[in-house]
């Protein structure tokens, strides 16, 4: 399966962008927020909270990062005006980390303050391991003063269990995911079972310590085990939510979450930089071959 996915992914990477665009539509809600707005309203009406992500990463100039920061500010205003139940998710490298950590901090602070003014929340996505130290450092620094933002932790990194213990339990709000970037065997588990064991150990720590956690996975085994952990600690539903990516099918589980009155948040990406994100999602689709063939014949 992994080989087929890698093979098809390689072919798509070599294909013209317009071919990849055909498949991106499943995972990307729109190219502009205006296009995405109806999807957001429909998802809210179905009971989902949202986190909105303007697609893109690794901006190369200060102007570009300042522009993206401004786009996010406008997005926060529109969320407020349109009464959308959504917060925002931001990649450090999208708002200037590659230029300097200070610039990333400055832009992030602008957004945290804007979100605070509008009673909203900012989630800092976690990128590759090259950014982990800086992301956690800035989180620790700013969380001394602001509480309306959170971080993401990845269970495939060996370091994560120690990281979570180093963070202030009373303030921490994090999303737990497996991790999507290619990391070396020196620092990250490569084996699915180990990644899952790590995921559940971190989740158990969070739930047993009443740390707010976004359980971000589509993996049935993890979802089943998460339910057991929630029950074992009689977790208060105010302290956790489930999270899924737009376009990934999880109907049966969403139904179950809603029946249990558990909060569910969908990560909704949009924007003109849809290419890298779409390829990552296509590669993770276990029915990639069927999916690609079906879409090619649909045209
Ligand atoms: P896994 O990959 O094993 O998938 C489980 C099942 O889900 C598959 O068998 C399939 O049925 C279904 N599925 C998964 N992907 C699919 C796809 N693309 N198309 C169709 N079906 C699919 N990572 C990171 O490094 N930093 C981050 O900040 C985030 N943020 C984030 C937010 C949210 C809300 C989610 C859900 C995920 C992330 N991730 C992330 C991505 C995460 O690290 C991970 O790569 C994906 O969630 C896939 O892992 P799963 O846990 O879903 O398991």
Separation CA 57–CA 290 (nearest Å): 29
Whether the CB of 198 sits within 6 Å of ligand 1:
no
Q: To the nearest whole percent, how much of the chain has pLDDT over 90? A: 82
pLDDT per position as a tens digit, 252-276 = 999 999 999 999 999 999 999 999 8
**Tokens 């809600």, located at residue:** 29
- 237 assigned to active site: no
pLDDT per position as a tens digit, 182-221 = 999 999 999 999 999 999 999 999 999 999 999 999 999 9
Residues 6+ apart with CB under 8 A from 251: none
The catalytically annotated residue of 123, 125, 265, 281 is 125
pLDDT per position as a tens digit, 145-178 = 999 999 999 999 999 999 999 999 999 999 999 9
CA 284–ligand 1 middle distance (angstroms) = 7
Find how far residue 146's CA is from the centre of its chain. 21
Average pLDDT of the residues in 219-248: 97
Whether the CB of 229 sits within 6 Å of ligand 1:
no
CA 281–ligand 1 middle distance (angstroms) = 8
Question: Measured from the CA of 244, which atom of ligand 1 is nearest?
Answer: 36
Beta partners for 52? 88, 268
Q: Is the pLDDT of residue 3 over 90?
A: no
- Across the chain, the runs of DSSP E, i.e. the strands, are 49-54, 86-90, 122-124, 149-154, 173-177, 212-216, 240-245, 264-270
Whether the CB of 92 sits within 6 Å of ligand 1:
no
Whether the CB of 177 sits within 6 Å of ligand 1:
yes
Separation CA 24–CA 245 (nearest Å): 13
pLDDT at 6 (0 to 100)? 80
In angstroms, what is the C-alpha Rg of the chain? 19
- 38 assigned to active site: no
- The pair of three-digit structure tokens given for residue 235, joined into one six-digit string: 């977790």
Whether the CB of 279 sits within 6 Å of ligand 1:
no
Whether the CB of 47 sits within 6 Å of ligand 1:
no
The catalytically annotated residue of 123, 175, 265, 281 is 175
- Is the Cβ–Cβ distance between 125 and 99 less than 8 Å? no
Read off the DSSP letter of residue 287.
T
Q: Is the pLDDT of residue 53 over 60?
A: yes
pTM to 2 decimal places: 0.95
Q: Which of 12, 163, 217, 277 to mutate to test the pocket of ligand 1 (most atoms within 8 A of CB)?
A: 217
- The protein residue whose alpha carbon is closest to atom 17 in ligand 1 is 285
């Amino acid at each position: 399966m992994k080989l087929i996915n890698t093979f098809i992914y390689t072919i798509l990477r070599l294909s013209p962008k317009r071919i990849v665009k055909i498949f991106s539509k499943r995972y990307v809600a729109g190219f502009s927020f205006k296009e995405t707005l109806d999807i957001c309203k429909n998802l809210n009406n179905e009971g989902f909270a949202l986190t909105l992500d303007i697609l893109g990463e690794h901006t190369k100039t200060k102007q570009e990062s300042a522009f993206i920061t401004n786009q996010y500010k406008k997005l926060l205003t529109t969320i407020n005006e349109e009464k959308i139940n959504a917060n925002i998710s931001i990649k450090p490298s999208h708002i200037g980390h590659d230029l300097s950590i200070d610039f990333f901090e400055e832009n992030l602070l602008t957004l945290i303050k804007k979100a605070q003014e509008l009673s909203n929340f900012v989630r800092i996505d976690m990128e590759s391991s090259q950014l982990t130290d800086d992301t956690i450092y800035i989180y620790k620094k700013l969380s001394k003063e602001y509480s309306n933002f959170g971080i993401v932790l990845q269970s495939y990194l060996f370091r994560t269990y120690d990281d979570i213990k180093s963070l202030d339990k009373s303030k921490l709000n994090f999303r737990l995911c497996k991790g999507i970037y290619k990391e070396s065997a020196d620092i990250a588990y490569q084996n699915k079972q180990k990644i899952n064991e790590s995921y559940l150990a971190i989740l158990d720590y969070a739930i047993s310590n009443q740390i707010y956690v976004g359980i971000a996975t589509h993996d049935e085994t993890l979802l089943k085990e998460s339910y057991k952990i929630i029950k074992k600690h009689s977790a208060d539903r105010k302290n956790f939510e489930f999270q899924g990516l737009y376009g990934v099918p999880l109907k049966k589980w969403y139904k179950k979450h809603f029946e249990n009155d558990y909060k569910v948040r969908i990560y909704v990406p949009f924007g003109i930089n849809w290419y890298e994100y779409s390829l990552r999602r296509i590669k993770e689709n276990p029915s990639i071959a069927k999916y690609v063939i079906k879409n090619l014949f649909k045209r």
